Amino acid sequence: MKRVGLIAKPHAEGLRELLQQLLPWLEQRQIEVFLDHDTAAAIEHEVHYPRAALPELADLFIVLGGDGTLLSVTRLLDYNRKVPILGVNMGSLGFLTETTTQELFSHLEKILQGNYETQDRMRLRTCVNRQGDRLVQPLVLNDVVINKGALARILSLEIYVDDLYVTTYRADGLIVSTPTGSTAYSMAAGGPILHPT
């Protein structure tokens, strides 16, 4: 891996100090780094790229932040461009961003030596059909929530899987979750926690 896309939660505590260590560390190892606009602004770095351009430039993503930051990066990737993501927890929970800032450099050293395993995660492809228009949404790693809007009302939802009718729910909404997303809204609503694979 010679090209790293680096995306951070811009106002994460300790971000500036971590980037001031990480960027020279990567440079010493001849790793080209591509920062998005917000990450570059956090350290007043002059060279930056639009987030949407980073998947084509990077062999690896390093995400500094929390689970929300990591989820935003997964939406950049489509099925054709599989870029491994190293999530570094600078938030509070860190279900998805498992690496701590203290482990970052030792983990990166192993990754650069080819000593790592990736874990494929299921994602959902969604679209919304509204008044005859099909609005394609990005791939999602966590979940899709269907509800009536700001004012909760009972909906009648017919559920099909691969054109096979499953059931009809009467509820104020429905959460369709991946195994990864089972620790998010699904768990909060009383759903089961599933192993990510």
Q: Is 143 part of the annotated catalytic residue set?
A: no
Q: In 3-state terms, the chain is what percent helix, strand and coil (to 5)?
A: 25, 30, 45
How far is residue 39's CA from residue 134's CA, in Å, rounded to a whole number? Answer: 33
Q: Which of these is catalytic: 36, 59, 67, 78?
A: 67
Q: Are 62 and 6 in contact (CB under 8 A)?
A: yes
Tally the C-alpha atoms within 13 A of residue 38's C-alpha that lie toward its C-beta.
Answer: 14
Q: Are 182 and 147 in contact (CB under 8 A)?
A: no
Give how far the C-alpha of residue 40 lies from the chain's centroid of Cα atoms, to the nearest Å: 19
Q: What angle do CA 85, 48, 60 make, to 5 degrees?
A: 20
Query: Mind telling me the catalytic residues?
Result: 67
